[in-house]
Structure 1
Amino acid sequence: MQDDELIEAAQAAAGQSYSPYSRFPVGAALRFADGTIVTGTNIENASYGLALCAETVAVAKAMDAGVRGGLEAVAVTGPGADAITPCGRCRQVLNELAQLGGTDPLVFCVGPKEVRTVRLSELLPHAFGPASLD
């Protein structure tokens, strides 16, 4: 049941998307070990390179709220024909948050007809993170 609630939170977040250029609303939801769920949505900009992905927005909100450990699961949803996965930048941003708590969260990649479940480490093998700087 928790996984369905996380996916629903991501879908609701997509409803807040500001995506007038791509018309591709994306929602993300992060679940932490204490049950906290933090959501984000994509925010586009006329200067395309300044757009923010839903996952990055959710991570920034979590960090701003002091939620930094215990990332258990992530759900990402969008309107494409297939289940969507986080882009490379978002995989790195999610990895940073996960490594702060020593976790390898499940990532629910949600599409209109399917949900793919993978570990973040499968999406970003041999990741660069805080430990790489030691």
Structure 2
Amino acid sequence: MTAFELASARPVSEGEIELVEAARSTIDATTDAGPDEDGIHTVGAAVRAVDGRVHVGVNLHHFTGGPCAELVALGSARAAGALELTHIVAVANHGRGVMSPCGRDRQVLADHYPDIRVILPGPDGLISVVARELLPLAYDHASAQV
């Protein structure tokens, strides 16, 4: 099975495009880097809660790692009382488009939000997949606990 033969993969819906636009407008409004420059805030993310509310965040780049925009958006959602989330997406600044989540984000999503739909680039445009499919044979933190 290739990355684009995931059982849950499907083209994005109109509502998912709206979430992409929320992430894009967030990073467009807050990036601190000019075109072709590095910056501290270069990626925006948006998550949708089951009640339809959208929560956003931006990354905080630091040489020690810093949090990705997806993790900031997840924390923002929780701080606002959103307990169940349905979708997440990250968008890079300066029109670089939707980004696939990094390995750390994939592990967090697999551990805490395995059924959230993740919007990411596919070979023929944007697709939406269930998070648990993004990390095959993932480490299972819950089963390792005593």
Shorter chain as normaliser: what TM range? 0.7 to 0.9
Match of 2:24 among 11, 15, 18: 11
1:28 equivalent in structure 2: 45
Contact 1:106/1:118, CA 8 A, preserved across alignment: yes
Question: Which has the bigger relative contact order, CA under 8 A and spacing at least 6?
Answer: 2
Identical positions, percent: 33
C-alpha separation in 1, matches of 2:65 and 2:88? 23
C-alpha separation in 2, matches of 1:126 and 1:82? 28
Which of 1 and 2 has greater Rg?
A: 2
Where structure 1 has 5 or more consecutive residues not aligned to the other structure, the ranges are: none
Match of 2:87 among 73, 85, 94: 73
Count how many residue pairs are aligned between Structure 1 and Structure 2.
126
State the TM-score, normalizing by the size of structure 1.
0.74
Q: Which runs of 4+ in 1 moved over 3 A?
A: 17-24, 79-83, 129-134
Q: Provide Cα deviations, 1:51-109, integer angstroms capped at 9, x if missing partner.
A: 2210010111112222122x21111222586752111111122234315xxxx122111
The structure carrying a bigger strand percent of its residues is 2
C-alpha separation in 2, matches of 1:62 and 1:131? 26
Alpha-carbon RMSD across the aligned residues, in angstroms, is 2.9
Q: Provide Cα deviations, 1:12-60, integer angstroms capped at 9, x if missing partner.
A: 1222235687348211111121101111111123xx1142210010111
